[in-house]
Amino acid sequence: MASYVEAPELEVVVCHAPSAAPIGAICVAGVDTVNRKAELSAGFLRGRGTRAVWEAIHFTLDYCFERIGLRKLVMYALAGNRQAIAILERAGAHPEGILRAELALPGGDYADLLRYALFSDADWPRLKSELVRIAPLATRTE
């Protein structure tokens, strides 16, 4: 019988440090410890493009690729969300496909979702180097 390993999921409220005001959230869910992959979602109401957002992204990717040893992160964007698509593409996320009519919208229509992925071996070294430069993580003193 296979043993069950509790999935190390993560839910973080991202706050702007000087004011402590929440600006968004990042979630790592659906952690698959056998295939070493998970789904990453993020949403920001304020602070887009700020250091706080990039620090949160850096922390989350570091957690996924370095701390819990994932090899793949899957992300989704609504087909019409140009800002989310631009961020994913700037990060070097690889398009993996389109989920047709995946989400119900008000009024009875359905929206397509675009699926993207980042990989620990192919993408993380480059991303880590860029994130260390623009939003270094604070070092822990234990």
What pLDDT is recorded for position 57? 87
Q: Provide the pLDDT for residue 78.
A: 93
pLDDT at 136 (0 to 100)? 84
pLDDT at 16: 80
For the chain, the three-class secondary structure string (H helix, E strand, C coil) is CCCCCCCCCEEEEEEECCCCEEEEEEEEEEEECCCCEEEEEEEECCCCCCHHHHHHHHHHHHHHHHHCCCCEEEEEEECCCHHHHHHHHHCCCEEEEEEEEEEECCCCCEEEEEEEEEECCCCHHHHHHHHHHHCCCCCCCC
**Mean pLDDT along residues 68-87:** 92
pTM here? 0.82
Q: What tens digit of pLDDT does each residue of 13-59 get?
A: 888 877 888 989 999 999 999 999 999 998 888 776 677 778 888 99
pLDDT of residue 119: 97
